[in-house]
Amino acid sequence: MIKRKQLTEHLSYTSMVLPLLILYFTFVIYPFFSTIFYSFTNYSNMRLFDYDFVGLKNYLDVFQTRDKVGAIANTVKYAVVITFFQTLFALPLAAALNSRLKTRNVLRSIFFFPAVLSPIVVGYLWSFLFSTSAYGPINNILISIGLPTINFFGDPGIALYSVIFTQLWQWTGWSMVIILANLQSIPEVYYEASKIDGANTVQNFFRITLPLLYPSINVLIVTGLVGGLKVYDIIVSTTRGGPFNATSTIIQAIINQAIGGGLYGLGAAFCVVFFIIVLLFTYLVMLIMKKWERAIS
């Protein structure tokens, strides 16, 4: 009797996990492994059923074509630069908003606001602001103060940095909010103690605040890098990868060439390469952050 009751309970508990397991398996686990499988085949929209194994050919293709290597380089550059500046700008902003300012909640909401928008909308907004046409307000300001116009999204030398700029505008407030939550958890006592010891603001920042901000900075760097490597939407709404592939990114190249062009095997190989890059970055960051953690504890 007791055994039967236990069994029904066990089955009941198990049935609660099944919907999640089935969906997760179908749309996350299985696609992941079949991507690895397809990456070694010439599966394409011309060979939906009669595809063959081609060994490492797709991987060689990824690393030997200039546009794909370029997309990898752009993506890595984008992720590193945006993570660095996003954290750098968010730190002083959060510190300033952690003061006893009456309007600090309003200010916090203002700086966070762009984070609730889609990068698609943000990208179109900035392509207008940066426009070189007669309407483009930023170039109009440059002209009116006697400077030459800048082709922000059209000049291959600066297009990627212009894209990064729009994303800094969008995400710095998000980073600031995360640091701010961390700052508010630091007990006032620490600062009172260091005041007695005669420490100044700069010493306070480097000796107390920064080490205690380890958790939030860790979050910002990991999510910033991984999110940066996934960059796609903002590219669609600003440069579409141009000019001359100067802003083409991994996901954008996969979608344009693999899904748009029907070269599924090649795309799968590029997906696997992307996965390895993400893993590598996560591992490196964890290594560096562990070192920092050990240094401060």
Partner 1 sequence: MNNSGFLRDNLKLRQILLGITLWAIAVVFMLPVYYLIVSTLKGAEEVTLYPFALPKTLNISKYITAWNKMSYPRAFFNTFTITSLSVLFSTLIASVAAYSIARHKSRFNKFVFFLVLSGIMIPGQVSLVSLYNIVRRLGLMDNILGLVVIYSGSSTVLPLFLIKNFISTTIPIELEEAAKIDGCSLYKTFFSIVFPLLRPIIATVIIITALGIWNDYLNPMLFLQSRKNATILLEINRNIGQFAVDWSGMFPMLVLGIAPLSLFYLFMQKYVISGVVAGAVKG
Cβ count within 10 A of residue 49? 5
237-266 residues near partner 1, rule: CB under 8 A: 237, 251, 254-255, 258-259, 264
Distance CA 174, CA 111 (A): 8
CB contact burial 157-173 (16+ within 10 A = b; e otherwise): ebbbebbbbbbbebbbb
Subset of 157-186 contacting partner 1 (CB under 8 A): 169, 174, 177-178, 181
Which of 18-26, 62-70, 73-81, 206-214 is the region at the interface with partner 1 (rule: CB under 8 A)?
18-26
Among 203, 275, 290, 291, binds partner 1 (CB under 8 A): 275
In the structure encoding, which two tokens stand for residue 212, read together? 């205690």
Which is nearest to 216 in space by CA: 119, 117, 289? 289
> Binding to partner 1 (CB under 8 A): which residues in 51-90?
none
| 120 near partner 1, judged by CB under 8 A | yes
CB of 211 to partner 1, least distance (A): 17
Q: What share of the chain is helix, strand, coil (3-state, %, to 5)?
A: 75, 0, 25
Q: Which of 7, 34, 206, 291 binds partner 1 (CB under 8 A)?
A: 34
Nearest-approach distance from CB 19 to partner 1, in angstroms: 5
| Interface pattern 214-233 for partner 1 (x via CB under 8 A) | -xx--x---x--x--xx-xx
Question: Hey, which residues between 128 and 147 contact partner 1 (CB under 8 A)?
Answer: 128-129, 131, 133-135, 137, 140
Element (H, E) at 271: helix 264-296
204 near partner 1, rule: CB under 8 A = no
Nearer to partner 1, 73 or 278 (CB): 278
Within 65-197, residue ranges assigned H as helices are 66-97, 104-112, 119-129, 137-144, 159-183, 188-196
20 binds partner 1 (CB under 8 A): yes
Phi then psi for 52, rounded to 5 degrees? -120, 165
Query: Residue 90: how many CB atoms within 10 A of its CB?
Result: 25
Q: How far is the CB of 250 from partner 1 (least distance, A)?
A: 8
> Which of 7, 30, 60, 280 is close enough to bind partner 1 by CB under 8 A?
30
> At closest approach, how far in Å is the CB of 160 from partner 1?
19
| # of chain residues touching partner 1 (CB under 8 A) | 87
Query: Which residues, 6 or more positions from 220, have their beta carbon under 8 angstroms from its beta carbon?
Result: 83, 86, 87, 90, 175, 178, 179
**Burial (CB count <10 Å: 0-12, 13-18, 19+), residue 68:** buried
For the chain, the C-alpha Rg in angstroms (whole number) is 25
Binding flags for partner 1, 87-116, as an x/- string (CB under 8 A): ------x--xx-xxxxx---xxxxxxxxxx
Give the residue with the Cβ less far from partner 1, 215 or 243. 215
Query: Least separation, in Å, of the C-beta of 48 and partner 1?
Result: 9
